[in-house]
Amino acid sequence: MNGRERSENKMGVMPVNRLLLTMSAPMMAAMLVQAMYNVVDSVFVARLGEDALTAVSLAFPVQNMIIGVGVGTGVGVNAFLSRSLGEKNFSMVSGTAMNGVFLAWLSAAAFTLFGAVGVRAYFLTQTDSPTIAAYGCDYLSIISLFSFGVFNQIMLERLLTSTGKTTLTMAAQMVGALINVVLDPIMIFGLLGCPRLEVAGAAIATVTGQFISAAVALFFNLRYNGEVVLSPRGFRPSLRTIGRIYSVGLPSILMSSLGSVSVYCFNGLLMSFTATATAVFGVYFKLQSFIFMPVFGLNNGLVPIIAYNHGAGKYDRVRLAVNLGMAYATGVMAIGAAAFNLFPRELLLMFGAGAEMLNIGVPALRIIGFHYVFAGVCIVFLSVFQALGRGMASLIVAASRQLLLLLPVAWLLSLAGELSLVWWSFPITEAATLALNLLMWRGLRRTIIDAKGAVHNG
């Protein structure tokens, strides 16, 4: 037995609160920087006019699906790699990592094909404005054609997170984010001798940052992540390992896809009122990233802790990690709810909002902000289900939220002809989703944590 097998990973021995903070804090910081560049991106684009902002908002569902497929695959790799570490199955650790990289490349190839042949058709289903469609095609074609950067970035960062090296994950993310922020104004407005590329410049800045982040994450894995061996020599895709990855990751991918479909349909509903409402919705999604991204960062630290200790049979640590995750997520979301209700006008003015956008956006942000009271706990629950290997529970909750609750509630409220009522679909949906999450958690806690914990303690 070698030294690597004799030593216990910190995820199994460090006090849980300290462990969660040390693993999640770097991820939360990195996610905040990532949220910042998402917002800065749209702030600069908004200076080109409301049509440009609307185009980027309409591109969001596909961009979100790209991220969702990458993150969903990464969640499956994250859960099984960390669990394999807990079980001391090091051959499975490296096998899972290499199959994850293989799946990331396949996913990127699919979206590259969409970028080559499907972007214009996508925009023509949403708008009859030639200006909005042209802006949107410029932006989304580049994002899709060069999606290899973001897929490799996400997967390589997840490998670092899976073994507890979240500080390195943070560093890789921050390098790419900062490069994006610097390049945005240069490429959009044609500064420092660069041609004025407008919306296309925003997309080029984004994919450049993603490729550089991927390169940095690859270096960190090869240099510092000794628990994972990344080598193409002798590699063959394993259907069994891919099946294990997707048993957890596919529900996450489907959840993200449902979210993209939901946003696409919601955009169509808002366009029936006014294009400005769609622009407001796009601004909301950029702003919400400041609140949601730290919680996603928290989850990135939480998932390997739960998966590792689930594999090691340390269910007291699993239970404590879940409770702490819920508490921290609720605190972050409370800050978001306060910001959206106290400063909606100031937030919208960051995006050059005119009188009509302010008239629509101020009540929209205040109403939507109420759902943050429930959203933090719901987000953590979904990640807990995935970390415990119950991805289907996450899928059931997410599908119910998107298809059975949010869109139908929004449509019913729209029948009154008042745009302000449509925004109430968010808090109504989130309250119902919380109830469903609690019901699912009760069953999983009884059958996994309590039952298996009793066996291991006995």
The CA distances from residue 37 to 43, 68, 178, 197, 258, in Å, are 10, 18, 7, 18, 25
Tens digit of each residue's pLDDT (9 = 90 or more) over 20-77: 988 888 778 877 776 776 777 788 898 898 899 889 888 988 988 898 899 889 888 8
Counting beta carbons within 10 angstroms of the beta carbon of residue 334, is it exposed (0 to 12), middle (13 to 18) or buried (19 or more)? middle
Q: CA 366, CA 336: separation in Å to the nearest integer?
A: 11
> DSSP 3-state assignment of 220?
helix
**How far, rounded to the nearest angstrom, does the alpha carbon of residue 224 sit from its chain's CA centroid?**
25
pLDDT of 379: 87
Specify whether the CB–CB gap between 352 and 47 falls below 8 A: yes
pLDDT of 6: 43
pLDDT of 453: 53
pLDDT of 344: 95
Whether residue 82 has pLDDT greater than 90: no
Chain mean pLDDT for the chain: 87
Tens digit of each residue's pLDDT (9 = 90 or more) over 24-35: 887 788 777 767
Q: Report, as an integer, the average pLDDT of 363-392.
A: 87
pLDDT of 5: 43
Per-residue DSSP letter, 9: P
Tens digit of each residue's pLDDT (9 = 90 or more) over 122-176: 999 888 889 999 999 999 999 999 999 999 999 999 898 888 887 898 899 889 8
Considering the entire predicted model, what is its pTM? 0.75
Q: CA 152, CA 218: separation in Å to the nearest integer?
A: 9
pLDDT of 169: 87
Q: Write out the two tokens for 206.
A: 């984004």
User: Which residues, 6 or more positions from 437, have their beta carbon under 8 angstroms from its beta carbon?
Assistant: 377, 378, 381, 382, 397
